[in-house]
Structure 1
Amino acid sequence: MAADKTNAEPTFEEALNELENIVRLMEGGNLDLEDALARFEKGISLSRICNKKLEQAEKRIEMLLCKESGEIILEPAGAMEQKDE
């Protein structure tokens, strides 16, 4: 049975793009109250999705940087790039 794409959670990029569109519409000030509230509610949901996906990515990075002893090495992204040079 194929996965139903209509109920699937959007990717980070999809959620962020939709959130940006909602912000643009709301900043335009041309929405009636009910539409503005509905879009605000959708925006909060999208914001939570983006936040969850960012936290998941951060956990994956921490796991990759974990030493054998279990100690996590957290370094700014720029510091990692400088070591490679």
Structure 2
Amino acid sequence: MADEAQITDLSFEEALRELERIVTRLESGDAQLQEAIDLYERGDQLRRQCAARLDAAQARIEAIRTDAQGRPAGTAPFAAG
């Protein structure tokens, strides 16, 4: 649980950099089995944190709606697509 608390304190960029380091280490094939398992678990936690941060950021983005004359008429939630 201490790792999870630390992960939630990381910025998106910090979590992504750590995740990239973990992927590089795992892809190198140099990690012993237990270390690889630990790295994988930490990487999965980081991946979930990054996804949650992206989802939260996307929810905050709003698209400006326009009226028939092209004037701003309000905002609408961002629609990914």
Does the pair score TM above 0.5? Answer: yes
4+ aligned runs moved over 2 Å, structure 1: 64-76
Quote the RMSD (CA, aligned, Å).
2.6
Describe the shift of the 1:73–1:49 C-alpha distance in structure 2 as closer, same or farther (beyond 3 A).
closer
Partner in structure 2 of residue 28 of structure 1:
28
- 1:65 match: secondary structure: strand
Describe the shift of the 1:75–1:56 C-alpha distance in structure 2 as closer, same or farther (beyond 3 A).
closer
Describe the shift of the 1:75–1:30 C-alpha distance in structure 2 as closer, same or farther (beyond 3 A).
closer
- Percent sequence identity is 33
How many residues matched? 69
1:7-61 deviation digits (Å, cap 9, x = unpaired): 4520000000000000000000011100000000000000000000000000000
Unmatched tracts of structure 2, length 5 or more? 66-72
- Larger % of strand: which? 2
Q: TM-score, length-normalised on structure 1?
A: 0.67
Given that 2:59 and 2:78 are in contact with CA atoms closer than 8 Å, whether structure 1 keeps it comes out as no
Q: TM-score, length-normalised on structure 2?
A: 0.70
